Amino acid sequence: MAQSMYIDGKWVQSASGEQFDVVNPATFDVIDRVPSGNQEDVSNAVAAAHRAFSAWSKTTALDRSNLLYRAYEILLERANEIAPTLTLEQGKPLNEAAGEIKFAAEYLRWYAEEARRIYGDTIPAAAPHKRIIVIRQPVGVVAAITPWNFPAQMVTRKIAPALAAGCTVVLKPSEYTPLTAIALFSVFEEAGFPPGVVNLVFTNPGDVFGEAILADARVRKITFTGSTRVGKYLMKGAADQVKRVSMELGGNAPFVVFDDADLDAAVEACVASKFRNAGQTCVCANRVYVHENVIEEFTEKLKRRVERMKVGSGLEEGVDIGPVIHAGALKRIQAQVDDAVEHGARVVLGGGPVQPAGLKGAFFAPTILTKVSDSMRVCQEETFGPVAPLIPFASEEQVVELANRVDYGLAAYVFTRDLERALRLGESLEYGIVGLNDPLPAVVQAPFGGWKSSGVGAEGGYYGMEAFLEYKYLSIGLSR
Ligand code: NAD
């Protein structure tokens, strides 16, 4: 029996009866099958969310908070039980998977708290017989679309604030990672959200969902995390009905190491930023700029550190780097490395696919490239793989110019012991997130969002509520 979608409080199959496979990227084995939804399924889910909206949007903040808090408790309790499912379909090491699910739970807790702080304003009027009140109200039915690289965290980072605000939701997770979403929805079901408040549909490919929600006037808001290409398509489509959009898109993070940095700490930070999740995070270091005075020493230290990393199935104890998501990703990463080598880069470590014993999946060796220049594809494009291209720089002005030269603006990193320089770069880098001597800045309470082609809006913290609320101004005329 295949898995199910969750629509209007019921676990259901697709209208067409069709299904698609879920594949383990470490072995290419089919691990499960899920319903393949079509326009009718999406419409049913939107209809359920639309019906549920009127009652849900009028619940008290305390009721919504309590349900979110209950979901937080259940998810935290089940984190270790769900982690192997996440690893099986996505590939990341089990400890990273368990960590991600606990982090996903934190969004439920944060927005359980934030639900109770949807404040408005009263504003002094200019006329004596007038009163001005501003209230915040939920935007309506939300369509949420998430990627495969964080199959748990990306879901709660959207759904928790949407529900806290009083919106109802239809989620379409990535076709590569539907099973973690199913586990999350069984948590929502157990927590006791009323039917229709949260709905889960799968479509393969994602376009089916995109077309359906863009055409459906009942959907008032699209919140999307994924590639810039799909984000642009959704933004254009949303313009027709002036739907609200939030876009968390691709990145191309510069990781800058000055010659006064603590080099050992910078190497550890580079490993954490670059090789976590096999280099498949939107904020991971994509271009590593190292001051020319220390690039040789940095390269040597990084090589010695990365050589010790174990590649294999995420389910295996001690594995640091799992597979990338599919064979297509392997090809894309290889093409970038080949392009770099053709144009003069040198492979210090790795450089191609590897096959850990007994596994036939999508593994790419952790790779370090030197003699890299900015015009190479590996610098121009988001790599989304375990490849660290090292580029020398000579001055602060030069590296700021290089760092800002791309269209993306999600995350940037700076390693230096000079506080003034750190602040100068923090202010001049055109990025939504800057890690100053910090490779892992994502936390539940701060705004996570990109500038330029990396997105619109931010998730996390009280900022994340904005996306799901409208202002309403009540102008009150008094008789005297
Ligand atoms: P993707 O854009 O291919 O897919 C993302 C989601 O969109 C999936 O659920 C997919 O099915 C769906 N989709 C695809 N075409 C669609 C369409 N026409 N209409 C509606 N939905 C559609 O991205 P991906 O490969 O799953 O994820 C990797 C990308 O996500 C990278 O670029 C990464 O940087 C980005 N990302 C960004 C953030 C962030 O917070 N900014 C976080 C994680 C990932």
Ligand 1 pocket member 174 (CB < 6 A): yes
Q: Where are the beta strands (DSSP E) in 28-113?
A: 30-35
- CA 147 to ligand 1: nearest atom: 26
Pairwise CA distance, residues 3 & 20, whole Å: 10
Ligand 1 pocket member 99 (CB < 6 A): no
Pairwise CA distance, residues 215 & 118, whole Å: 30
- CA 282 to ligand 1: nearest atom: 34
- Please confirm, yes or no, whether 292 is among the known catalytic residues: no
Distance 459 CA to ligand 1 centre (A): 16
Ligand 1 pocket member 149 (CB < 6 A): yes
Report the relative pairing of strands 5-7 and 168-172 from DSSP bridges: unpaired
- Please confirm, yes or no, whether 248 is among the known catalytic residues: yes
Ligand 1 pocket member 49 (CB < 6 A): no
In which order are the strands placed within the sheet that holds 10-12? 10-12, 5-7, 198-200, 168-172, 141-145, 219-225, 244-248, 455-456
* Contact call for residues 205 and 175 (beta carbons, < 8 A): yes
- CA 172 to ligand 1: nearest atom: 9
Ligand 1 pocket member 206 (CB < 6 A): yes
Ligand 1 pocket member 213 (CB < 6 A): no
Pairwise CA distance, residues 426 & 431, whole Å: 9
Distance 408 CA to ligand 1 centre (A): 15
Residues pairing with 291 in the sheet: 393
Ligand 1 pocket member 147 (CB < 6 A): yes
Catalytic-role residue among 167, 270, 282, 284: 282
Ligand 1 pocket member 251 (CB < 6 A): yes
**Which of 149, 381, 433 to mutate to test ligand 1, by most ligand atoms within 8 A of the CB atom?**
149
Distance 230 CA to ligand 1 centre (A): 7
For residue 122, the SS3 value is strand
Residues pairing with 171 in the sheet: 144, 200
Distance 245 CA to ligand 1 centre (A): 14
Distance 229 CA to ligand 1 centre (A): 9
Ligand 1 pocket member 432 (CB < 6 A): no
Ligand 1 pocket member 249 (CB < 6 A): yes
Phi, psi dihedrals of residue 18, rounded to the nearest 5°: -75, 155
Pairwise CA distance, residues 386 & 410, whole Å: 19
- Residue position matching structure tokens 């259901």: 12
pLDDT at 480: 82
Distance 433 CA to ligand 1 centre (A): 19
pLDDT at 1: 61
Report the nearest-CA residue for atom 15 of ligand 1: 206
Omega before residue 205 within 30° of 0, cis? yes
Judge if pTM exceeds 0.85.
yes
In the chain the domains, ranked by start, together with CATH numbers, are 5-249+454-475 (3.40.605.10), 253-443 (3.40.309.10)
Distance 145 CA to ligand 1 centre (A): 8
Catalytic-role residue among 248, 382, 396, 459: 248
Q: What is the H or E stretch that residue 296 is in?
A: helix 295-307
Phi, psi dihedrals of residue 137, rounded to the nearest 5°: -130, 155
Q: What is the H or E stretch that residue 255 is in?
A: strand 253-257
Pairwise CA distance, residues 167 & 121, whole Å: 21
pLDDT in tens, the chain (480 residues): 689 999 999 999 999 999 999 999 999 999 999 999 999 999 999 999 999 999 999 999 999 999 999 999 999 999 999 999 999 999 999 999 999 999 999 999 999 999 999 999 999 999 999 999 999 999 999 999 999 999 999 999 999 999 999 999 999 999 999 999 999 999 999 999 999 999 999 999 999 999 999 999 999 999 999 999 999 999 999 999 999 999 999 999 999 999 999 999 999 999 999 999 999 999 999 999 999 999 999 999 999 999 999 999 999 999 999 999 999 999 999 999 999 999 999 999 999 999 999 999 999 999 999 999 999 999 999 999 999 999 999 999 999 999 999 999 999 999 999 999 999 999 999 999 999 999 999 999 999 999 999 999 999 999 999 999 999 999 999 998
